[in-house]
Amino acid sequence: MKEDRAIHRRISEYACAEPQTLRRDFQITSEGYDPWQVEDSRRRWGANVVAGRRADTVLYRLRRAFVTPFSMILLVLAAISFVTDVLLASNFSRNLTTVFIVLGMLLISGAVRFVQELRAKRVADHLTGMIATRVRVLRAGRWTELCSTELVVGDRVRLAAGDRVPADIRLTEAKDLFVSQSVITGESGVLEKRAVTLRPGTAKTAADYENIAFLGSTVMGGFGEGIVLAVGADTVYGGFSAAGAERKNGFDRGANSIAWVLIRFMAVLVPVVFAACGLTKGNWLSAFLFALSVAVGLTPELLPMVVNACLAKGCAAMGKKQTVVKTINAMQGFGSMDLLCVDKTGTLTGDVVALEYYMDVLGNESGRVLELAYLNSLYHTGVQNHLDDAILRCRDMPGQQERFESLARRCPKLDELPFDYERRLAGVLVGGKENLLIVKGSLDEVCRLCSHVEYKGQRLPMGPDAAASVHAVADEMLEDGMKVLAVACKPMEGRTARPEDVQELTLLGYLAFFDAPKKTAAAAVARLRELHVGVRVLTGDQKSVAVSICRRLGIDAEQVLTGPELESLNENDATMRIERTAVFAELSPKQKARVVAVLRANGHTVGFLGDGMNDLPAILESDVGISVDTAAQAVKEGADVILLKKDLNVLGEGILEGRRAFCNLSKYIRITASSNFGNIVSIVIASVLLPFFPMTAVQLLLLNLLYDLLCLALPWDQVDPEACARPLEWSGRTLGRFMRFFGPLSSIFDLLTFAWLFFVLCPAVCGGGFFQLAQEAQRLRFIALFQTGWFLESMWTQVLILHLLRTAKAPFLQSRPSRPVMLVTGLGIVLFTGLTFTPLGRLIGLTALPPVYFAFLAVMVALYLLLVSLAKGLYRKKYRELI
């Protein structure tokens, strides 16, 4: 728990205080808070913002847009240029051009990213509003549902099964209220919370505060009402629950991998450039500036913005296909996902469970079994499930409503035991002629707890072959794909029930349910197989039911692993068995999470689709947690993606969109990094051979920035179907290989351009070779012609290579770029070429070139594209991939 004494005092004090004390101290009336009290409480105690999450304001987005490592380098360059060109220069040689250009680049880069950040914020705010946690609050005399962020200290709130507790709450009413704190404490047990007043000094740990519901815990069953004691960062667990949901770090791992590849290239090239320029030119300050520009030039300056644009574009496209992506980083998970784990009910089956049979221990229809099962489902206050719904629908049968209403009046509820996810059973204690504990649950688990059976009113001891007798009745139904539950009871003397009372039960009979496979499920599974996404079924149902459904849908059910079998395996055996198994049955929530964890440890990118509270641990453990809009609130909050339609076909479309966004992102990173690497290699060589810099620091930075701006159209590029046919790896593992293969190809043509410019064009225009020119003005013109020539050649080849390497096919013929990409790159070439003829170009050292240069440029570009086309074929043949 947090080491904050004020918070501890508040929790400890009010856990031991009567409810009327809280109402007096927090000035709570019978009508709850009015708007004025809400604002006063928010000013005094703070807003309900999770600790560790920065307020997503426009100011925060502005800071994030401008304060980046690359923008800081630009700022340092501007500062150094100001010192050398203004402060240390003579009155006649002072020049602010470089400072203005660098600051202009900084402002343009930040402004473009800021606009994108604002767009992303609007999308995020819209999505947050769609899936935000709602809580029932008493305000101005009326119970209303509000977003949890609107809560303040002193609010009166109500909790029900499936809710995620939105703050630290002192309970004032509780009826069979059971919560799980596993997400925030790691404890798997379910705790009962009561509206009692503790004695001072009795509570030592979080579990001892039985009248406090802590932020992040999940209501598993029952009802509660209470008063908010602490919100946001002031809560005892202060956002630890959110940390669990935000633990998904597949995107961060991949981004870090890519960053380290670029950093390693920088660590080698930047010192080499600095030493080469310093030794050959003798000006170490200029060499330092140029080395810094190399650092920026090697790395895509607008990488964060292009990443956001690609992922946001994918999120928007998925939103049109009934899929809400809560965090844009989840798009990476969709692109990389190679295994999808699903719960059976409602995903592979129709989600409309029908009660087919209710029978005694020998398989005869039994009204007593149905009545006791009805009472169990009626009084069960846990998260609603399909089986209870199916049982309760029996009262809607013709002529049965009065029968079941009378039954409920005769047998009132006395107590309840929450659903035990480990043993897969639940119990309620009812009154009547005698107090009776009714237990309903998993066939094998319930039968294991029974010592007797009841048949035609007689109570008989269970024999040694009881298990065989049970399965003789149930196996045929299980093989037909039905789910079978057992119903048992036990007379009780008291009016309360405890978990240890669930033993020495009397078996009454069975319930058989059928949930038919969805008509679209088989086609959806086949489609996922075509996308090379393996399907793993993780269910709590009996093995035979799971096998029956999976075989009908074409899922390999030869290897099946049950929960008890999984527990008996050691770690090494479990790892191998889980990897080879497609169907897992009779799993507890903890076991589902374990299977997902093992699959991730085996190198898979795992998605999990579920909607029940028993799926929450696995959803949090997966790389991509997927739920539906009808799921429990806690499950939706823990998921990364919400499906508005529970259908695997919708998920298949989402996977394709994720891959398209991912593929366009990979295009930008690989092509840009390799082009920049080629430029840097050329600079290293030229810095040694030439008596001047082949391009100034400002020109190099401007070239990189202009190219990156053109790449902002890539999120809207078309993607070849073959490129997104398989899961895509998000890492830097092959980035270095791609850079080393394609980068130096441009250096070959750069060197040819250098030679032609230095020995042919520039001497022809300036009237002699560089060393033959006596006047400083002539040498400056020579340098300007040379730098402009390479600036244009580099820009043309970089832009055109984008079209060549964006597809594994023949560009423009077999694979056409999208209209935005064609338009932006075409206009970019025209405008940036025209820049050399303008006064702005002269400010950064560029000058107009004679027509003969453009003839030479056309030949060089054609030869370069031909060489890269041949190299692309060799690369694909050797590595069997391109992007």
Q: Quote the pLDDT of residue 383.
A: 66
First to last CA, the chain: 47
Q: Quote the pLDDT of residue 37.
A: 92
Across the range 727-737, mean pLDDT stands at 77
Q: Which of 723-727, 776-780, 784-788 has the highest mean pLDDT?
A: 784-788
Cα distances (angstroms) measured from residue 6 to each of 11, 239, 286, 475, 751: 9, 17, 57, 60, 69
pLDDT tier for residue 51 given thresholds of 50, 70 and 90: very low
Q: Residues of CATH 2.70.150.10 domain(s) within the chain?
A: 5-50+133-245
Helix axes 697-710, 776-805, angle to 10 degrees: 20
Could you say which DSSP state residue 433 is in? S
Comparison of pLDDT for 57 and 742, the residue scoring more? 742
Whole-angstrom distance, CA of residue 721 vs CA of residue 737: 24
Across the range 536-561, mean pLDDT stands at 85
> Global pTM?
0.70
- Of 3, 11, 1, 7, nearest in space to 227 by CA: 11
pLDDT tier for residue 142 given thresholds of 50, 70 and 90: very high
Q: Quote the pLDDT of residue 182.
A: 62
Q: Which of 88-92, 120-124, 478-482, 531-535 has the lowest mean pLDDT?
A: 120-124
- Is 80 exceeded by the pLDDT of residue 732? no
Whole-angstrom distance, CA of residue 578 vs CA of residue 359: 36
- Is 60 exceeded by the pLDDT of residue 582? yes
Q: Quote the pLDDT of residue 365.
A: 92
pLDDT tier for residue 109 given thresholds of 50, 70 and 90: low
Q: Quote the pLDDT of residue 53.
A: 46
Write the DSSP assignment of 643-694 as a string of letters: ESS--HHHHHHHHHHHHHHHHHHHHHHHHHHHHHHHHHHHHHHHHHHSSS-S
Inter-residue long-range contacts of 320-323, CB under 8 Å, 24+ positions, other chains counted = 321/650, 321/653, 321/654, 321/657, 322/643, 322/644, 322/645, 322/650, 323/641, 323/642, 323/643, 323/644, 323/650, 323/651, 323/653, 323/654
Whole-angstrom distance, CA of residue 211 vs CA of residue 23: 16
Q: Which of 397-401, 610-614, 724-728, 862-866 has the highest mean pLDDT?
A: 862-866
Number of other residues whose CB lies within 10 A of the CB of residue 860: 18
Whole-angstrom distance, CA of residue 21 vs CA of residue 68: 51
User: Is 804:865 a contact under the CB 8 Å cutoff?
Assistant: yes
Cα distances (angstroms) measured from residue 760 to each of 689, 785, 860: 16, 12, 15
Q: Quote the pLDDT of residue 738.
A: 86
- pLDDT tens per residue across span 257-288: 777 777 777 777 778 878 877 887 777 777 77
- Residue 177 amino acid letter: L
- The first and second tokens of residue 164, run together, are 């995620």
Whole-angstrom distance, CA of residue 461 vs CA of residue 459: 7
For the domain bounded by 354-514, which CATH number is listed? 3.40.1110.10
- Of 674, 842, 693, nearest in space to 758 by CA: 693
pLDDT tier for residue 786 given thresholds of 50, 70 and 90: very high
User: Is 623:606 a contact under the CB 8 Å cutoff?
Assistant: yes
Q: Quote the pLDDT of residue 435.
A: 92
Question: E-assigned strands of 96-186?
Answer: 134-139, 142-147, 156-160, 168-180
- Of 263, 261, 259, 255, nearest in space to 331 by CA: 255
Across the range 552-579, mean pLDDT stands at 88
56 is catalytic: no
- Is 90 exceeded by the pLDDT of residue 301? no
Q: Quote the pLDDT of residue 245.
A: 42
Whole-angstrom distance, CA of residue 599 vs CA of residue 586: 18
User: Is 719:662 a contact under the CB 8 Å cutoff?
Assistant: no
Q: Which residues of 374-383 are buried (b: 16+ CB within 10 A; e: fewer)?
A: bbbbbbbbbb
The torsion angle over the Cα atoms of residues 299, 305, 307 and 311, rounded to 10 degrees, is 180
228 three-class SS: strand
Q: Which of 25-39, 588-602, 687-701 has the lowest mean pLDDT?
A: 687-701
Q: Which of 7-16, 103-112, 219-228 has the lowest mean pLDDT?
A: 103-112
Whole-angstrom distance, CA of residue 883 vs CA of residue 292: 29
226 three-class SS: strand
User: Is 509:477 a contact under the CB 8 Å cutoff?
Assistant: no
Comparison of pLDDT for 197 and 103, the residue scoring more? 197
- Is 80 exceeded by the pLDDT of residue 133? no
Place of tokens 């660590």: 267
Q: Quote the pLDDT of residue 101.
A: 66
Could you say which DSSP state residue 32 is in? -
Place of tokens 């240069």: 853
Q: Residues of CATH 3.40.50.1000 domain(s) within the chain?
A: 323-349+518-644
pLDDT tier for residue 64 given thresholds of 50, 70 and 90: low
- Is 90 exceeded by the pLDDT of residue 485? yes
Across the range 379-395, mean pLDDT stands at 84
Q: Which of 76-85, 175-184, 611-620 has the lowest mean pLDDT?
A: 76-85
Across the range 849-871, mean pLDDT stands at 92
Question: E-assigned strands of 462-542?
Answer: 483-492, 505-514, 534-538
The torsion angle over the Cα atoms of residues 800, 806, 809 and 813, rounded to 10 degrees, is -50
Q: Residues of CATH 3.40.1110.10 domain(s) within the chain?
A: 354-514
Catalytic position from the list 343, 415, 420, 623 = 343
- Tell me the fold of 5-50+133-245: 2.70.150
- The first and second tokens of residue 543, run together, are 């093995």
User: Is 420:440 a contact under the CB 8 Å cutoff?
Assistant: no
pLDDT tier for residue 139 given thresholds of 50, 70 and 90: very high
Q: What does the chain come to in residues?
A: 883
- Is 50 exceeded by the pLDDT of residue 3? no
- Is 60 exceeded by the pLDDT of residue 186? no
pLDDT tier for residue 490 given thresholds of 50, 70 and 90: very high
Q: Residues of CATH 1.20.1110.10 domain(s) within the chain?
A: 254-316+655-879
H-helix or E-strand spanning residue 314: helix 303-319
Whole-angstrom distance, CA of residue 794 vs CA of residue 679: 8
- May I ask the CATH class of domain 254-316+655-879? mainly alpha
Whole-angstrom distance, CA of residue 29 vs CA of residue 469: 61
Q: Quote the pLDDT of residue 239.
A: 46
Q: Quote the pLDDT of residue 288.
A: 75
Whole-angstrom distance, CA of residue 236 vs CA of residue 356: 48
Q: Quote the pLDDT of residue 2.
A: 39
Comparison of pLDDT for 336 and 561, the residue scoring more? 561
- pLDDT tens per residue across span 86-96: 776 666 556 67
HEC letters along 234-298? HCCCCCHHHHHHCCCCHHHHHHHHHHHHHHHHHHHHHHHHHHHHHHHHCCHHHHHHHHHHHHHHH
- May I ask the CATH class of domain 323-349+518-644? alpha beta
Q: Quote the pLDDT of residue 5.
A: 37
Across the range 764-779, mean pLDDT stands at 87
- Please state the separation of Cα 584 from the chain's center in Å: 25
Q: What is the mean pLDDT of the chain?
A: 81
- Percent pLDDT > 90 in the chain is 23
Half-sphere exposure in the Cβ direction for 561 (13 Å, CA): 24
Across the range 444-453, mean pLDDT stands at 91
- Is 70 exceeded by the pLDDT of residue 741? yes
- pLDDT tens per residue across span 602-643: 989 899 988 777 788 888 888 888 887 767 666 777 788 888
H-helix or E-strand spanning residue 440: strand 435-442
Q: Quote the pLDDT of residue 50.
A: 53
